[in-house]
Copies of this chain bind each other. A is one copy, B any other.
Amino acid sequence: METIIKRNKSIKPKAPILVVGLPGIGNVGKLVAEHLKREFKAVRFATLYSPHFPHQVVMLKNGCIRLVNNRFYLIKSKKANGSDIVLLTGDVQAVSPEGQYEVNSRIVDFFKNELKGTFIYTIGGYSIGEANGIVKSPRVFGNVTRKEVMKQFSGTNVVFKESRGLIWGSAGLIMAFAKMNKMDGICLMGETSFLDMDASAAKAVILTLSKKLQLDVDTTNLDKIITKTAKAIREIEKQQGIAPINQLQPSIDEKPGERPSYIR
């Protein structure tokens, strides 16, 4: 089996902007993408499967199964000449470097050449280390494909030139392949202290993103999740002695704080 993108619906998005939110540090990207997906009743139109993803299927609440994947959703613009938003989210990221290069270059190729996309946002968490405690007012850091892109974000709260170190996985590689393909993009990172599920960092990014994209986002639900998350953290800490090392981030479809059960 090769990496494939299956089109569920033959949709032609209008001058689309891609927003990528996949599992990672603090699950910031995934939380942002899932929230936008629900808020705007985004419609799935394509699914990416890859042999570089873990060899897992998800047991669904309806009794069926589903191969782990990455999914493309469409949010139609309400304006006459506005850009549609394409959301990319999913269960997993590729497990090997070779897989990461393959999957992420395929994503950029698909967005640019098949969807005729124009700009990419990738969302991640910017870790300040667990030792530094919970972040009260998380900042939103930004790194761009080329200097000119920063100007588009003047007047926003995005902090440039202060982030240091490495971006792992899709949030970074999709930026790199965008740059190689002469497409502009920004990686937005919510400040986090390594929590499994940092709704606070996600909220900060959503506020930035909705202002920039002129989206009318209700963040009430997100506030609830923050409260739930705080409670869940203590439970997770109790369970940490028995948690499997290197386990997948729990899917947002499962209740956070619950211990996953495995079968093979």
Contacts of A1 in B (CB 8 A): 101-102, 105
Interface: A59 (CB within 8 A): yes
| Inter-subunit contact B165/A261 (CB<8 Å) | yes
Interface centre among A57, A166, A259, by most B CB within 10 Å?
A166
Find out whether the CB atom of B264 lies under 8 angstroms from the CB atom of A171: yes
Asked if B126 and A261 sit within 8 Å, CB to CB, the answer is yes
With A65-B172, A67-B176, A164-B254 already in contact, the answer to whether A261 and B127 are too (CB < 8 A) is yes
Interface SS of chain A: mixed
Interface pair A166/B56, CB less than 8 Å apart: yes
Q: Contact: B263 with A160, CB < 8 Å?
A: no
**How far apart sit A60 and B179, CA to CA, in the bound complex (Å)?**
14
A248 at the interface (CB under 8 A from B): yes
Give residues 127-172 of A contacting B (CB, 8 Å). Answer: 127-129, 131, 142-147, 150, 160-161, 163-172
**Contact residues in B for A258 (Cβ distance below 8 Å):** 164
A225 to chain B, nearest CB (A): 19
Measured between alpha carbons, how far is A129 from B260 in the docked complex, in Å? 10
The stretch that binds B, out of A31-39, A47-55, A111-119, A212-220, is A47-55
A64 located at the interface, meaning its Cβ lies under 8 Å from any Cβ of chain B in the complex: yes
Number of copies: 4
The CA of A149 and the CA of B65, in the complex, are separated in Å by 12
Chain A's interface size range is 35 or more
Q: For the complex, what is the distance from the CA of A158 to the CA of B26, rounded to whole Å?
A: 37
- By a CB distance below 8 angstroms, the chain B residues around A189 are 263
- Of the listed stretches A13-21, A71-79, A82-90, A92-100, name the one at the interface; the rest are far from the partner chain: A92-100
Are A143 and B64 in contact, with the CB atoms below 8 A? yes
Contact A165 B262 (CB under 8 A): yes
- Whether a CB of chain B sits under 8 angstroms from the CB of A183 is no
Least distance between A205 CB and chain B CB atoms (Å): 12
A258 to B167, CA, bound (A): 17
A124 within 8 A of B: yes
Q: How far is the CA of A25 from the CA of B263 in the complex (A)?
A: 6
Contacts of A248 in B (CB 8 A): 166
Could you jot down 30 A-B contacts, CB within 8 Å?
A: A25-B264, A51-B98, A51-B100, A52-B97, A53-B97, A54-B97, A55-B97, A55-B169, A55-B172, A56-B172, A57-B167, A57-B176, A59-B164, A61-B161, A61-B164, A62-B161, A63-B143, A63-B147, A66-B176, A97-B99, A98-B99, A125-B263, A126-B263, A163-B263, A167-B264, A168-B262, A168-B264, A171-B263, A172-B263, A189-B263
